[in-house]
Homo-oligomer: A and B are copies of this chain.
Amino acid sequence: MAASRMQLLSPRNLSFLGRGRTELFAVSGAPKRAGDGPRGRALNSSPVSSRTISSVSETRRGLPREKMTENGVSSRAKVLTIDTMNPTVKKVEYAVRGPIVQRAVELERELSQGVKKPFAEVIKANIGDAHAMGQQPITFFRQVLALCSYPELLNDSTFPEDAKSRARRILQSCGGNSLGSYSASQGIESVRQDVARYIERRDGGVPCAPDNIYLTTGASDGIVTMLKLLVCGEGATRTGVMISIPQYPLYSAALAELGAVQVNYYLNEEKCWSLDISELQRSVDEARTHCNPRALCIINPGNPTGQVQSRQCIEDVIRFAAKERLFLMADEVYQDNVYADGCQFHSFKKVLFEMGPEYSSTVELASFHSTSKCYMGECGFRGGYMEIINMDNEVKAQLTKLVSVRLCPPVPGQALMDLVVNPPQPGEPSYDNFIKERTATLSVLAEKAKLTEQVLNTVEGIRCNPVQGAMYSFPRISIPEKAVKEATANGQQPDMFYCMRLLEETGICLVPGSGFGQKDGTYHFRMTILPPTDKLKILLDKVKEFHHKFTQKYS
């Protein structure tokens, strides 16, 4: 019975996108290499099982498996094959960059080669990559980064003084005054101080110690590192980690790789993707029959679902975590992306401390932030931080040791994180322009969030919850029974089938809901709200038209 429950909860059975690796990642042809003639390729594709090489008795005999071909070239079976590679890596799935995106890239190439398509360009609404969609970087941030990269510019009178003083401060914290030096593994000390002050301001004065801040290579790095610390045990005592469904697939991917048990709790689509404590309870109780649930991950504002949690909900979650002895992980990378009236971002840290010492001195929490989202959208710099609260001191020392192996997060990303938490202040020369740029970006996002919801809800067979925050809509789509059958016959998830058709017919690249997880029998897609407004309108109209035609065709 435990086994069947496990199956129910395991990532493989989550109606996730792939059936097998071949569907997930198409191999783009044999690499062209010198000396890799037909024989080499034949070898590559030959179904020689290399499982035997892991047999001690075989290898001990010192008889490598090789045979001589007619011209005396020995053709050895590969050391590393799909059968002899790390099995946990094979289980990893990551839909946001899955087969649909690879096909989109191919289509772009075909278009550029003049191949005729029913569309003139591919519009990628699959990933929260703001600058790629035309969002402009904050001028002040880029000025400081340029000054730090090439300090000769500190003599250039066209740069504002506040940008220069910020650059000088960052450079003074770098070994040899260079971004090219390693920083401390935990991150540059002055940046961690600035992060701590930012958190204190954000949380209405709740104290924050720089020593609890770890700078990271994007938020993903911090999340994976924390999960890594948490995993232990075997079989029924193996660490379980609770994640929302739908989820951001970094979580399922990391858990698969770490061999942890993914414990799903479902967000309530009918109530605007809200989180019900009773569902958390059902989930943890069920999980306890076959694993040891030790952590609870929350994404707020939600990815892919766009909901913003109420203060009450966060309090309930914290109480639940305390009662059930769960380490809390709060993914708060969209903390500035709140659009809906009446919604507000509440950090888990702040709510925790407002609940008094019974909670604030005991509940273990890691929260994550990043330079990639909000109004910055600086994904390429891979900047981020995590704050840890109530972590056991010995574990903290182990965490510090663990991050030291990778030496340090990228220093330009650390510098950028510093600017995000310490932007221009009133009275400084760059302040007005900074506020103007930030406000413009956030209001355009708010507009696009509303537009997306409105247009999608005019389509029969599409139902879209309000995009309260973050950067995505995750509408539910009706897929006719006939289309479901055709998809299944093709070995595809129905919403993958739908999104692939959409891509081929319109050039619009979305991610099927199955890549994030969804209730059995329901179908969704995730669409970013990031394309420029005019393009977003076209995109939404095309989706509308496509859905109509698709439904007609398969009805």
Chain A residues proximal to chain B, CB less than 8 Å: 21, 24-28, 30-37, 39-40, 43-45, 53-56, 59-60, 62, 64-65, 72-76, 78-82, 84-87, 89-90, 92-94, 97, 105, 127, 129-135, 137, 142-143, 145-147, 149-150, 153, 156, 174-176, 178-185, 206-207, 209, 211-212, 217-218, 220-221, 224, 228-233, 236-237, 250, 253-254, 257, 288-289, 292-295, 322-327, 353, 356-358, 360-362, 364, 376-382, 389-398, 400-402, 404-413
Inter-subunit contact B78/A390 (CB<8 Å): yes
B31 close to A212 (CB less than 8 A): yes
Which residue of chain B lies nearest to A174 when distances are taken between CB atoms in the complex? B380
Contacts of A133 in B (CB 8 A): 175-176
With A45-B393, A220-B406 known, 14 other A-B pairs at CB within 8 A are: A25-B397, A30-B393, A32-B207, A33-B389, A36-B361, A44-B392, A59-B325, A75-B362, A97-B404, A137-B180, A181-B380, A253-B405, A380-B411, A382-B408
B64 touches A325 (CB 8 A): yes
Residues of B within 8 A of A294 (CB): 53, 79-80, 84
Q: A133-B176, A358-B74 are in contact. Are A398 and B89 (CB under 8 A)?
A: yes
Known: A79-B326, A81-B392. A380 touches B131 (CB 8 A): no
CB distance from A359 to the nearest CB of B (A): 9
Q: Which residues of B contact A402 (CB under 8 A)?
A: 89, 92, 257
Contact (Cβ within 8 A) A357 B209: no
Docked Cα-Cα span, A82 to B394, in Å, equals 6
A146 nearest CB neighbor, chain B only = B150
- Asked if residues B82 and A395 are in contact (CB atoms below 8 Å), the reply is yes
Chain B residues with CB under 8 Å of A54's CB are: 232-233, 237, 292
Which of the listed residues A130, A400, A405 has the most CB atoms from chain B within 10 Å of its own CB? Answer: A405
Tell whether, in the assembled complex, residue B137 and residue A94 are in contact, meaning their CB atoms are under 8 Å apart. Answer: no
Chain B residue contacts of A56, Cβ below 8 A: 236-237, 288, 292
> Whole-angstrom distance from the CB of A8 to the nearest CB of chain B?
18
* Distance, CA A378 to CA B323, complexed state (A): 48
Asked whether B40 lies within 8 Å of A361 as measured between CB atoms, the reply is yes
Which of the residues B26, B74, B80, B396 comes within 8 Å of A395, measured between beta carbons? B80
Contacts of A40 in B (CB 8 A): 357, 361-362, 390
- A178 contacts across to B, CB distance below 8 A: 131-132, 137, 380
Given contacts A364-B80, A379-B182, contact A254 B145 (CB under 8 A): no
Residues on B with C-beta less than 8 A from A44 are 392-393
A180, B377: Cβ atoms closer than 8 Å: yes
Contact A82:B398 (CB < 8 A) given known A75-B362, A220-B405, A357-B37: yes
Contact B76 A362 (CB under 8 A): yes
Point out the residues of chain B lying under 8 angstroms from A25, CB to CB. 397-398, 400-401
The minimal Cβ–Cβ distance linking A28 to chain B, given in whole angstroms, is 7
Q: For A410, give its contact among B21, B79, B376, B381 (CB under 8 Å).
A: B381
How many angstroms from the CA of A80 to the CA of B232 in the assembled complex?
Answer: 10
| Given contact pairs A79-B364, A360-B34, A401-B24, A379 touches B181 in the complex (Cβ within 8 A) | yes
A217/B380 contact (C-beta < 8 A), A207-B33, A212-B31 known:
no
Contact of A85 among B27, B34, B137, B398 (CB under 8 A): B398
- Min Cβ gap A445→B in Å is 15
A21 in contact with B81 (CB, 8 Å): no
Known: A325-B79, A380-B174. A254 touches B217 (CB 8 A): no
Task: State whether A35 and B97 are in contact (beta carbons under 8 Å apart), knowing that A59-B292, A325-B64, A411-B381 are contacts in the complex.
Answer: no
Give the shortest distance, in Å, between A196 (CB) and chain B (any CB): 11
Residues B132 and A80 in contact, CB atoms below 8 Å apart: no
Q: Which residues of B are found within 8 Å of A218, using beta-carbon distances?
A: 406-407
Known: A134-B176, A237-B56, A410-B410. Is A181-B129 also a contact (CB below 8 A)?
Answer: yes
Bound-state CA distance A362–B389 (Å) is 51
> A381's contact among B39, B60, B179, B184, by CB below 8 Å, is which?
B179
Of B75, B80, B381, the contact of A392 (CB 8 Å cutoff):
B80
In the bound assembly, the distance between CA atoms of A24 and B150 in angstroms comes to 38
